[in-house]
Structure 1
Amino acid sequence: MISTKKKNTYLFQIFIWTIIILGINNTTFAQQFSLYNSRTLYDSFENPSQRAYQVDTSKRFAFNFFIPVISINSSFSGPAQSAFKTLLYDGMFNGSDITIGENKLNNITLNSNNYVAMLRMLKSVKKYQELGLSWQIRNDGRAEVSNEIFAVFDDYRLFNSNSVQNILNLNGYNQSYHQFSFTYRQNYTKHLAIGAKLSLLSGISYTKLKVRQSEINLDEPADVIDVSLRGTLRSNFKFDNFQRNMIKPNFRNPGLSFTAGASYKLRDGWFVLGNLKDIGLIKWSKDSYEYNFNTGRIFIDNASNQTADNRLADSLDRNISSISTNKSYVSVLNGKAEILINKDFGNYRPNLILSKSIYYKGGDIALVNNYHYKNYVFTGMADYNTNGFLQLGGQLMIKTPNVEFYMGSDHLVKSLEILKTYIKNPTIYPSGYTGLSFYMGFALKFGRVLEHPLNATQIPGFIKDPKKGFIKRLSGKKT
Structure 2
Amino acid sequence: MSKTQGKHKLARRIFVLITLFSGSIIGAHAQQFSLYNSRTLFDSFENPSQRAYQVDTSRRVAFNFFIPTISFNTTFSGPAESAFKTLIYDGLFNGRNLILGQNKKNILTLNSNNYIAMLRLLKSVKKYQEIGLSWQVRSDTRAEVSNEIFAVFDDYRIFDSSSIDGLFNINAYNQSYHQFSLTYRQNPTKRLAIGTKLSLLSGISYTNLKVSKSDIVLDEAADIIGISLAGRLRSSFKFDNFKTEMINPNFKNPGISVTASASYKLRDGWFLMGNLKDLGFIKWDKNSYQYDFNTDKIIIENASNESADERLADSIDNNISKLSENKSYLSALNGKVEILINKNFGNYRPNLILSKSIYFKGGDIALVNNFQIKQYVFTGSTNYNTNGFLQLGGQFMIKKPNIEFYVGSDHLSKTVEIFKNLNSSKTSYSGGYTGASFYMGFAVKFGKVLEHQANATQIPGFTKDPNGGFIKKLIKRKD
TM-score of the superposed pair, with normalisation by structure 1: 0.96
**Contact 1:27 1:72 (C-alpha < 8 Å) held by counterparts:** no
What is the letter of the counterpart of residue 348 of structure 1? Y
Distance 1:28 1:437 in 2: 11
Aligned partner of 1:62 in structure 2 is 62
Whether the aligned pair in 2 keeps the contact of 1:2 and 1:224 (CA below 8 Å) is no
Taking the aligned partners of 1:78 and 1:120, their CA distance within structure 2 comes to 42
Mapping of residues 266-415 of structure 1, within 5 Å? 266-302=266-302, 307-415=307-415
Alpha-carbon shift at residue 82 of structure 1 (Å): 1.1
* Secondary structure, counterpart of 1:31 in structure 2: coil
Report the RMSD for the aligned CA atoms in angstroms: 1.7
User: What is the CA distance between 1:304 and its match in structure 2?
Assistant: 9.6
Query: Which is further off, 160-169 or 448-457?
Result: 160-169
Give runs of aligned pairs for residues 65-464 of structure 1, distance below 5 A: 65-302=65-302, 307-464=307-464
CA distance in 1, matches of 2:61, 2:187: 19
Match of 1:14 in 2: 14
Report the Cα distance in structure 2 between the residues aligned to 1:170 and 1:314, rounded to whole angstroms: 20
2:134 is matched by which residue type in structure 1? S
Report the alpha carbon displacement of residue 470 of structure 1 after superposing the two structures with TM.
6.7
Counterparts of 2:306 and 2:350 in 1: how far apart (Å)?
62
Cα distance in 2, alignment partners of residues 303 and 361 from structure 1: 39
Deviations 1:408-429 (A, max 9, x none): 0000010011111112233431
Preserved CA contact (<8 Å) 1:461 1:474: no
**2 CA distance for matches of 1:469 and 1:211?**
76
**Partner of 2:423: helix, strand, or coil?**
helix
Native 8 Å contact 2:140 2:174 kept in 1 = yes
Quickly say closer, same or farther: Cα 1:473–1:158, change in 2 above 3 A.
farther
CA distance in 2, matches of 1:134, 1:470: 39
Q: Deviation string for 1:177-231 (max 9, x for gaps)?
A: 0000000000010100000000000111000001111111112222111111111
| 2:6 and 2:304 in contact (8 A); partners too | no
Can you give the 5+ residue segments of structure 1 that lack an aligned partner in the other structure? none
Paired with 2:182 and 2:10, the residues of 1 have a C-alpha distance of 50
Q: CA deviation at 1:305?
A: 7.7
Size of the aligned set, in residue pairs, is 476
Deviation larger for 260-269 or 426-435: 426-435
Change (3 A) 1:455 1:474: farther
Contact 1:2–1:302 (CA under 8 A) maintained in structure 2: no
Aligned 8 A contact 1:167 1:214 in 2: yes
Q: CA deviation at 1:252?
A: 0.7
Structure 2 CA distance, aligned partners of 1:17 and 1:470? 76
1:404 CA drift (Å): 0.2
Letter in 1 for 2:24: I
C-alpha change, 1:467 and 1:213, in structure 2 (3 Å) is closer
User: Which deviates further from its counterpart, 460-469 or 270-279?
Assistant: 460-469
Q: Which moved more, 1:212-221 or 1:57-66?
A: 212-221
1:129-187 CA-to-partner distances (Å, cap 9, x unmatched) read 00000000000010000111101122222223421111111110000000000000000
Q: What is the TM-score when the length of structure 2 is the normalising length?
A: 0.96
- 1:125 corresponds to which letter in structure 2? V
Q: Is the 8 A contact 1:464 1:473 kept in 2?
A: no
Would the aligned equivalents of 2:338 and 2:354 in 1 still touch at CA under 8 Å?
Answer: yes
Q: C-alpha separation between the residues in 2 aligned to 1:315 and 1:460?
A: 78
Residues 24 and 188 of structure 1: is their aligned pair in 2 closer, same or farther, counting only changes over 3 Å?
same
Distance in 1 of aligned mates of 2:467 and 2:119:
38
Cα displacement (A) at 1:116: 0.4
Q: Which residue identity is paired with 2:98? A: I
Deviation at residue 469 of structure 1 after TM alignment? 6.5
How far off is 1:460 after superposition?
A: 1.9
